Chains A and B, each alone.
Chain A
Amino acid sequence: AQTVTQSQPEMSVQEAETVTLSCTYDTSESDYYLFWYKQPPSRQMILVIRQEAYKQQNATENRFSVNFQKAAKSFSLKISDSQLGDAAMYFCAYRPSSGTYKYIFGTGTRLKVLA
């Protein structure tokens, strides 16, 4: 079965510092997508970044970048220059390659940003 594990229920970071959120997954598929979603108190699920498994290059979106280790089945999110607005729940998600539609989510990491 495909699973996504986020082992850090909560993390804290000082404003302007860097924090890394961990995610591991288990799958027998060779082609898939990985995502990080942000869920602020408004409950909106906001796509932060996505990674195609066939791409070796790590995805980056402004202050957000990932460290994708396919062999280790690891997909961590690095947030640089943390801002107060980054405080939220962060969910790692997995989806098999095109043709499927089910996302599998981890249990989330609550990120607190300290002023």
Chain B
Amino acid sequence: NAGVMQNPRHLVRRRGQEARLRCSPMKGHSHVYWYRQLPEEGLKFMVYLQKENIIDESGMPKERFSAEFPKEGPSILRIQQVVRGDSAAYFCASSRMRTGDWDYTFGSGTRLTVV
């Protein structure tokens, strides 16, 4: 089992460009969660998705950020018109069940740098 796969590992974007971050959950996991880790901070919840549905996006900034988890393929976190403040590590986690008691697994994150 390859675990939660995130790519790219590092992403550099100029201000105003779009960033697309991908997350492939563990095999058999249909629940995906995105977190953001700003420098010197802990991870903060952004959004929870199941296949084709956004369940909870209470942690997502209202503008420029969107997420999807299509029927086929990885989950995508999209950031439009990036700004310097978007520079952070973005983590994805997945679980088999909603509660994810014992199989809630994190990926290694994508570090986004906005120049």
Contacts and interface: CB of A to CB of B under 8 A. Distances in A.
Interface of A: 4, 33, 37, 42-45, 91, 93, 98-108
B95 interface: yes
Interface residues of B, number: 25
A107 B89 contact: no
Binding site secondary structure of chain B? strand
B111 to A, nearest CB: 7
**Which residue among A43, A98, A106, A108 has the maximum number of chain B CB atoms within 10 Å of its CB?**
A43
A93 B101 CA distance: 14
Contacts of B89: 43
Contact of A107 (B40, B45, B95, B98): B40
Interface of B: 31, 33, 35, 40-45, 48, 56, 59, 89, 91, 93, 95, 98-101, 104, 106, 108-109, 111
| Chain A to chain B: the 4 pairs with minimum beta-carbon distance, closest first | A105-B42, A45-B106, A98-B99, A102-B45
A106 B42 contact: yes
Contact of A43 (B56, B98, B111): B111
Given A33-B101, A43-B89, A101-B33, 12 more contacts: A4-B42, A42-B108, A45-B91, A45-B106, A91-B43, A101-B48, A101-B56, A102-B33, A104-B45, A105-B42, A105-B43, A106-B42
